[in-house]
Chain A
Amino acid sequence: MSTALSLHQSRKRKNGVMMALCVVAAGIGLAWLALILGALIYKGLSGVSLAVFTQMTPPPGDAGGLLNAIYGSIVMTIIGIVVGTPIGVLAGTYMAEYGRFSKLTTVVRFINDILLSAPSIIVGLFVYELMVRPMGHFSAIAGAVALSILVIPVVVRTTEDMLNLVPNALREAGTAIGAPRWVVIRSVAWRAAMSGIVTGILLAVARISGETAPLLFTALNNQFWSSNLNAPMASLPVTIFQFALSPYEEWQQLAWTGALIITLTVLGLSIFARSLTGRREDR
């Protein structure tokens, strides 16, 4: 009797210990998030002023802003999205609509999943070999192409997943009234999957707006205002990288402020993107 009881107690105790460890693990996860965000806000917020958004990056030891870096980031992100999104959406459409059961789709899905998690610095090297070396100089357009290569797998994945969720009855209804396949895809399938596809694009924006590695040796950096796509262009992540590793206090402060701007943008985009699909799940 007493052994049975002690076995029961030891099992209960073990359960209690392991479950407590799981709670601790969750606590650690949340604590890291709080620590990182806390440090960012504490160090970044003190540097936020109008000058950050109106002045150029300063020379060492001077005060200044991040205007050219913010502008460069926005320009390259937009071009990256504009180039990458149509390719991603079309490829995802092929995989979910025309070639749902074809061999090609299986292969593309596998390769796309690998591209999705491939190191972004490899993409930087690829674009360097593809564009920077033949052109002979770094350029904003090369940076934008590198970003678009990161956009494609994200958009392909979400487009395919979302189109697969569209009920076939909707497509059959379209076909039954005599619409050709591509009209059914365009006005039925795409429309039904629209919020999911938009979520994918927003997640892609969130991903590339913080990417540093693929820009390091494609767009390089630029101390000055430049809107020339054929010349090196500053970007927020690369500027943060350069300024954070510098010995100058003003530069380090600007790096923290830039980091805060990027993080808020990225977190805002991901929360917004998730709320778009979250509503669908609840319905």
Chain B
Amino acid sequence: MPAARGSRDATVRRFALTDAIFRALTKGAAILVLVLLGGVAISLIAGSWPALSTFGLSFVGSEAWNPVTEKFGALAPIYGTIITSAIAIVIAVPIGIGIAVFLTELCPRPLRRPIGMAVELLAGIPSIIYGIWGLFVFAPFLQTTVQPFIIWMFHGVPGLNSLFAGPPYGIGLLTSAMILAIMILPFITSITKDVFDTVPSVLKESAYGIGCTTWEVTRRVVIPYTRVGIMGGVMLALGRALGETMAVTFVIGNAHRISASLFAPATTISATIANEFTEAVGDLYTSSLVALGLILFIITFIILAIARYMLLRIDSRAGA
């Protein structure tokens, strides 16, 4: 028996050892995820240090972007990023929620899965496809039909005439915002649909039971109940829109200036980096572009953190 006891002990020890190794391996991989994000932050700060120490805080407040005199400021790209994303959200949120209402309340059951899947496929299309489509199909269409009409319609209206001032390039702020709206639509729809599904049927049924119409149930019961989740989805989509690169790079026009007109070419943070990084000569130029990346990273990190926090709150309520 002692021999068997000994081999049993050895086996148990071997099991314990391999288990400890495997556990350490998986834990290491989990920690690596944290290290990755930390590494991104540190490398961006290190890379942008020359620019930030040269320009200081005026980097964020200056509109200048001159590679020849090596004067760089981030105001124009920040402005373009925020304006395009904001317009995209304004366009995409009502449509996205509308599709979610359609899918949860109106759509005939057999069509629900295919249509839901089609909308999610929109999310899977690479952004460069939206870019090439925007440049060759969408922008010329806007340039020849929509934009001249809008310019003609508003040219006598004070305020709006500077917002929609010509000439119609086709590319520019508004075109980028519309492409972004198409791109973030699926995110808003699928998250809104998911949070709509967390509404207890009893709540909806009691509202229907006292004679509410579908719209009243949606407006007075479903949307108030899921408000936090919808906001989370909108913030998530905003995070996507802020960081979206390729689609915008194609249609924004890459002009470092802030103009009142939404039809004017402009630039965003990501489009500036994508367009200029490989051609940037000199440490200060490169470093300024990395500093732009750092600003984008900080903005999106805050927005995404808020989004995740809001979605966590509705998750815990659904679980409770």
Does B127 sit within 8 A of A, measured CB to CB?
A: yes
Given A122-B296, A125-B47, A213-B274, are A25 and B132 neighbors across the interface (CB < 8 Å)?
no
Interface-centre pick from B117, B129, B186, B304 (highest chain A CB count, 10 A): B129
Chain A residues whose C-beta falls within 8 Å of the C-beta of B297 in the assembled complex: 118-119, 122
Q: Does B213 contact A118, Cβ atoms closer than 8 Å?
A: no
Q: Does A15 contact B98, Cβ atoms closer than 8 Å?
A: no
Given A26-B102, A98-B23, A245-B250, are A121 and B33 neighbors across the interface (CB < 8 Å)?
no
A270 and B118 alpha carbons, distance in the complex (Å): 11
Contact of A126 among B43, B120, B131, B274 (CB under 8 A): B43
Contact of A90 among B26, B129, B244 (CB under 8 A): B26
B8 to chain A, nearest CB (A): 11
Q: Does A23 contact B102, Cβ atoms closer than 8 Å?
A: yes
A231 and B132 alpha carbons, distance in the complex (Å): 27
Chain A residues whose C-beta falls within 8 Å of the C-beta of B135 in the assembled complex: 244-245
B87 to chain A, nearest CB (A): 16
Q: Does B185 contact A29, Cβ atoms closer than 8 Å?
A: yes
Q: What are 28 inter-chain pairs, A to B, with CB distance below 8 A?
A: A19-B105, A25-B95, A29-B185, A30-B115, A32-B122, A36-B129, A36-B130, A40-B129, A94-B27, A97-B26, A98-B26, A99-B27, A104-B27, A113-B304, A115-B36, A117-B240, A119-B296, A121-B293, A152-B32, A210-B128, A212-B246, A213-B274, A240-B128, A241-B128, A244-B132, A245-B250, A263-B129, A266-B126
Q: Chain A interface (Cβ within 8 Å of chain B)?
A: 11-12, 14-15, 18-19, 21-26, 28-30, 32-33, 35-36, 39-40, 43, 86-88, 90-91, 93-95, 97-99, 104-105, 107-108, 110-115, 117-123, 125-126, 128-130, 149, 152-153, 156, 180-182, 185, 206-207, 209-213, 216-217, 220, 237, 240-241, 244-245, 252, 255-256, 259, 262-263, 266-267, 270-271, 274
Q: Chain B interface (Cβ within 8 Å of chain A)?
A: 15-16, 18-19, 22-23, 25-34, 36-37, 39-40, 43-44, 46-47, 94-99, 101-103, 105-107, 115, 117-122, 124-133, 135-137, 182, 185-186, 189, 213-216, 218-219, 236, 239-240, 242-246, 249-250, 270, 273-274, 277-278, 290, 293, 296-297, 300-301, 304-305, 308
